[in-house]
Chain A
Amino acid sequence: MSFPWARQYEPKTGLTKFLDEKLPLPRLVYNAVGAGYPVPRNLNYMWNFGVLAGFFLVFQIVTGVVLAMHYAANAEVAFATTEHIMRDINWGWLMRYAHANGASFFFIVVYIHIFRGFFYSSYKAPREMIWLLGVVIFLLMMATAFMGYVLPWGQMSFWGAKVITGLFGAIPLVGEPIQIWLLGGYAPDNAALNRFFSLHFLLPFVIAGVVILHIWALHIPGSSNPTGVEIKQESDTLPFHPYYTAKDGFGLGIALLALFIMVFFLPNALGHADNYIEANPLSTPAQIVPEWYFYPFYAILRAFTMDFILPAKLWGVLAMFSAILMWFFLPWLDRSPVRSGHYRPLFRKFFWFGLIPTMAALFYLGGAPAEEPYVMLSQIFTAYYFLHFLVIIPIVSQIERPEPLPYSITEAVLGSDKKAVLGENAEPAV
């Protein structure tokens, strides 16, 4: 961070002085998530979810590495080794349930993190790059989660793999060869299972790399805040440590409580019973659904039922991918100079009464059977989803008259800049 009042790291012991000269890792940590990173003093609990997402990435890597010690990516034994983990391995049930529910919680916190970004327009200049990297992370997460769901080699694993790779079959001319190439065969089998396992192990570390870039990009302008007003002075900020380590630590405690209520009492509530039946290429389950965190996009995929110039299948695939890829353009679709939804009356209405109900409906519809009235509802909400980002947001940002902004973060918190005694609140009370 470049704020001139940021605290400077001062190594005190011989060891830290030695390290600071040769490899200033403690300095890096101090400036990244320590007292050397000044953060807006008015962050609310919505700002917990970046740290939580980082935590769950580590959580998934740790539990995943443990599972990989006992799992075998071979179509003959994959299902059996999964049961072996559940029944024979010491604490194997805990590791697997923690990993499966951990994936759900990773998506929960990331969805909240993304929608925090939507409401407070965290994607706007000067934070476009943070946003773009975040969308990349989300895409990588989806790929990783999809391949992870294939590994237990249950019925949902198998048919999920078949359906999702079938999406590529929609591409004109080269689609089918691509699908066969992706699977290494004509249907999911050993070749597909092995490469999915290899990539499922690799991608989290790629995500970790992009997360580092995401945080690096964040530290150039610094964190945004609920007013959307940039930091102007020292009294607008608090050091990350101990103020936000404590606040994030509290949020982490709540998140872990919720996670382990699921792990211990409802471990399969977010999964699907059919995945406890071994993969059978000759029998499709009555209803194939992906994991719940893909529901909105699955609903969009299924909303296209009619050929219009292009085949319906291709429209569905294009729409599903566009639904996320569109987010890359958001910083340039929203031209309003005001960031926070708190000061944008019209934008705020479309957020709470347009986007949020639409997402909730798409979440529901993605898990519903492919029949009426769900198909028609999916079509209506899919239409709104695209309208919201491509039409409503650009128009609103042109015609809206924002409410007056506070002069500074300090004024928003204390009522007046004069009340801010510099340094009074900047020192951690020990």
Chain B
Amino acid sequence: MADTAATANSEIPVVPVDDGATDGVRRRDFINIAALSTAGVGGAAVLLPLISQMAPSEDVLAESVTEVDVGDIEPGQAIKAVFRKQPLFVRRLTEAEIAAANGVSADSLRDPATLDERTKEGNHDLLVTMGVCTHLGCVPLGAAEGEVKGEFGGYFCPCHGSHYDTAGRIRKGPAPTNLEVPEYAFTSDTTITVG
């Protein structure tokens, strides 16, 4: 439009904002916004590797699956294994311990769960939990022979006095939740794979 007008009457000075075909977008603004956006997106993209490099590396992730042989654990006995650099408690419960765990109503607990929910079908006598107190991360006592098992015969955390029962459930003390049951599966009758 502006160009036609200029040709039609050269006495009328036409002063285009830029080159006359800008549709209200100036070249300089466009370059400015495009350059700053590119730099901004690029700068943000740089954050991805810088943040991600601190996450667990491939070799750490490779250690995140652990196999445990549970065949030799006698009732009343427990073993400690290592899962993701943390202690894992595997305990074969006695009849009396199973009865004690089932003898309390789950609804009355701080973190309601039954023994059946916390163990695998067909192996309700095998309790697999992390050996990490849910309060502040200490290792509770009770897995090794002769250790204090606390008021409820399960585990006892000596740091701040949390008592866990024979199903690894929090019964007394400051811990907020039951001992964590990690994801695991029986890969044979006597072997579990954790993680």
Contact = CB atoms under 8 A, between A and B. Distances in A.
Interface of A: 62, 66, 69-70, 84, 87-92, 94-95, 249, 429
Contacts of A90: 49, 52-53, 55, 57-58
B29 to A, nearest CB: 9
B106 interface: no
B59 A84 contact: yes
Given A62-B50, A66-B50, A429-B28, A92 B57 contact: yes
Interface string B44-70: 000011101111011110000000000
26 contacts: A66-B50, A66-B53, A69-B53, A69-B54, A70-B53, A70-B57, A84-B57, A87-B58, A88-B57, A88-B60, A89-B53, A89-B58, A90-B49, A90-B52, A90-B53, A90-B55, A90-B57, A90-B58, A91-B48, A91-B52, A91-B53, A92-B53, A95-B53, A249-B35, A249-B39, A429-B28
Contact of A95 (B39, B49, B60): B49
B5 to A, nearest CB: 25
Contacts of A87: 58
B181 to A, nearest CB: 29
Q: What 3 A-B pairs come out closest when comparing CB atoms?
A: A91-B49, A88-B58, A88-B57
Contact of B49 (A69, A94, A249): A94
Range, interface on chain B: 10 to 19
Q: Which of A89, A92, A94 has the most CB of B within 10 A?
A: A89
Interface in B52-99: 52-55, 57-60
Contacts, number: 35
B36 to A, nearest CB: 9
Interface of B: 28, 35, 39, 48-50, 52-55, 57-60
A11 B114 CA distance: 65
A129 B49 CA distance: 40
B77 to A, nearest CB: 37
Contacts of A249: 35, 39
Nearest to A91: B49
Nearest to B62: A88
A87 B62 CA distance: 13
Nearest to A65: B50
A92 B58 CA distance: 11
Nearest to B46: A62
A94 B59 CA distance: 18
A249 B39 CA distance: 10
Contacts of B59: 84, 88
A34 to B, nearest CB: 16
Contacts of B57: 70, 84, 88-90, 92
Contacts of A66: 50, 53
A320 B35 CA distance: 44
Q: Which of B28, B53, B59 has the most CB of A within 10 A?
A: B53
Contacts of B39: 249
Contacts of B55: 90
A40 B45 CA distance: 35
A84 B58 CA distance: 9
A97 to B, nearest CB: 11
Contacts of B58: 87-90
B54 to A, nearest CB: 7
A351 to B, nearest CB: 35
A120 B105 CA distance: 88
Contacts of B50: 62, 66
Nearest to A67: B53
Contacts of B54: 69
Contacts of B49: 90-91, 94-95
Nearest to B36: A249
Given A70-B57, A88-B57, A89-B53, 15 more contacts: A69-B53, A69-B54, A70-B53, A84-B57, A87-B58, A88-B58, A90-B49, A90-B53, A90-B58, A91-B53, A94-B49, A95-B49, A95-B53, A249-B35, A249-B39
Contacts of A69: 53-54
A90 to B, nearest CB: 4
A61 B35 CA distance: 25
A68 to B, nearest CB: 12
A89 B35 CA distance: 32
B57 to A, nearest CB: 4
B62 to A, nearest CB: 8
Nearest to A98: B49
A132 B49 CA distance: 38
